[in-house]
Structure 1
Amino acid sequence: MSKRIWLNGKLVPPEQATVNVYDHGLLYGDGVFEGIRAYNGRVFKLRTHLRRLYESAVAIRLEIPYTIDELAEAVRETIAANDRQDGYIRLCVTRGVGTLGLNPFTCEAPNVFIIVDSIKLYPAELYEQGMEIVTASTVRNHPMALSPRIKSMNYLNNILAKIEALDAGVMEAVMLNHLGYVAECTGDNIFIVRKRDGQPVVYSPPLHAGVLEGITMRAVEGLARDAGLCLERVDLTRYDLYTADEMFLTGTAAEVIPVTKVDGRVIGDGKPGKVTLSLFDAFHKLVQNNAPED
């Protein structure tokens, strides 16, 4: 069965799923997107993703020409057209065709397209053994310049940090904010675990540090609370990363993946920790058994 792309209300082959070179999404990265996962025929947190998409669009004064219900149905239609029970969904909304100037209000109408495909962000062995990451010298965008809570199509800030990771021979990098505190990784949210009074506490950076409010991040936080774990959002430094007992990343594509080394420092005993493994198992049970769509 050949692939089908949903483009402005029609399912078309990939070679016909084209946008004009004058589209401001291409010219300026002017648009918003969501990465979504389907498990066993159910779309994980579909409406939560769509609400974030619409909030991102409102923040940049981009009017999406479909309702949330219509886009939810379009996602399901695209999954069915590609005959997939499991897969990765990329939903993009560009500003549309305009002039070569920056003025977004010259654009005629947004372009909306949905891709359903497979994705494998990290090799399977890294989920078992843990991955190594580095700290990037590229600083996360200042939150007063471009809010990290807007999931825009301009990912150059993240890409530059990703290049640093690849140049260092690893697959992910931690990005610090303009104050030197930990923000997030190039495509994932970050958590550490440290013991306090003999009990594990799960720490993560506050949203004001320059953090995208991750859908998987929120789901994992809920699972941690269900397990009786204490969670705190506090400013973290590289020292906190280096001295953590455990570390893990979360993201739609990454799901939950352990980190066992940062900047050459071994985390804990160099193996995925108990809290990380328990949350990994809980997340996979959640999505495989009956992935919630809201």
Structure 2
Amino acid sequence: MKIFMNDKLVDQAEAKVSVFDHGLLYGDGIFEGIRLYDSCVFKLEEHLERLEYSAKAIMLELPWSRQEISDAVCETCRANGLKDGYIRLVVTRGEGSLGLSIKNCDKPQLIIIADKIQLYPQEFYEKGLEIITVPTRRINPAALPPTVKSLNYLNNILAKIEAQHLGYHEAIMLNDQGHVAECTGDNVFVIHKGELITPSASAGALKGITRDTALGISEDLGVPWREANLTRYDIWVAEELFLTGTAAEIIPIVKVDARPIGDGKPGPITAKFLERFRELVSREGTML
């Protein structure tokens, strides 16, 4: 496998960063997860825009232009012979001295990995996924804005560990007010009485690219949508429920906390969202 490091492709075994890189030492850096469908890098411009916003938020100056990063993403995919896959784009703060200060970190590191991914077994996209709510709470947006896609995912990882120890693939995380924030790696969407409802960034939800795509699909299908605070009760009594994410795509949820969602099967509105999503992915983006 070829990995893009800073300005060139290298073999996987040669893709290395310093042990003094602040991305490793402190989780100081940003990333994007991007999908490749039928040689189309889905919504690459939107991902790169969000990368730039994350960089600005943490005062990380990117020494590469958006076009240079875009070209590097496509080059990495081509070098690995990928037509369908997953791209992990990482920018670390770079090598520095021990301690939290960023003053000595003057050379950010760009890393691009293009490979395959399957977040959930394929069968669950047909029959639906069962999930639970876990005790680990989502970090307060006032402490760390969820709109910053940083390298430090320990909060989400702890929730994922809890879910997996109980035999589940995914879990809902609440914020410190007890409202639904998001899942460990996905946005949450409720369908109730013909309306689509999802938590806002102020509740702790990431402003996901696939989330935005789902909202666009909602408008195309004539399904009204809104952002709102959701409780566990709102989840339990939902008629349909689905999750969105770059790696997860759109996946139906059929049971939460042992309570069936609707009739316990993927719902018809969710099916329409998934169908429309699959129509979009190979044409809305950047071709290799």
The code of the aligned residue for 2:156 comes to N
The code of the aligned residue for 2:259 comes to R
Q: Normalized against structure 1, the TM-score is what?
A: 0.96
The sequence identity of aligned pairs, in percent, is: 54
Maintained 8 Å contact 2:22/2:94: yes
- The equivalent position to 2:284 in structure 1, one of 281, 284, 291, is 291
The code of the aligned residue for 2:251 comes to I
Q: CA deviation at 1:64?
A: 1.1
- The equivalent position to 1:116 in structure 2, one of 114, 117, 136, is 114
Encode CA deviations 1:243-285: one digit per residue, 9 max, x unaligned.
0000000000000000001011111000000110110010001
In structure 2, the gaps of 5 or more residues are none
Indicate whether 1:274 and 2:268 are aligned: yes
Indicate whether 1:45 and 2:43 are aligned: yes
Moved over 4 A (4+): none
Encode CA deviations 1:106-165: one digit per residue, 9 max, x unaligned.
113101010000000000110011001111111101111100000000000000000111
The code of the aligned residue for 1:204 comes to T
Partner Cα separation in structure 2 for residue 167 and residue 19 of structure 1:
32
Partner Cα separation in structure 2 for residue 17 and residue 65 of structure 1:
20
Partner Cα separation in structure 1 for residue 106 and residue 145 of structure 2:
26
Indicate whether 1:104 and 2:98 are aligned: no
Number of matched pairs? 287
SS in 2 for 1:104: coil
Q: Which residue of 2 aligns with 1:243?
A: 237
- The equivalent position to 1:263 in structure 2, one of 251, 257, 266, is 257
Indicate whether 1:220 and 2:200 are aligned: no
Partner Cα separation in structure 1 for residue 141 and residue 11 of structure 2:
38
The code of the aligned residue for 1:246 comes to E
Encode CA deviations 1:185-208: one digit per residue, 9 max, x unaligned.
00000001011xxxx111101221
The code of the aligned residue for 2:167 comes to G
Partner Cα separation in structure 2 for residue 253 and residue 71 of structure 1:
20
Q: Normalized against structure 2, the TM-score is what?
A: 0.98
SS in 2 for 1:105: coil
Matches within 5 A, 1:139-150: 139-150=137-148
Q: Which residue of 2 aligns with 1:21?
A: 19
Partner Cα separation in structure 2 for residue 108 and residue 208 of structure 1:
32
Indicate whether 1:69 and 2:62 are aligned: no
Partner Cα separation in structure 1 for residue 82 and residue 49 of structure 2:
24
Partner Cα separation in structure 2 for residue 205 and residue 222 of structure 1:
16
The code of the aligned residue for 2:245 comes to G
Q: Which residue of 1 aligns with 2:160?
A: 162
SS in 2 for 1:152: coil
In structure 1, the gaps of 5 or more residues are none
The code of the aligned residue for 2:279 comes to K
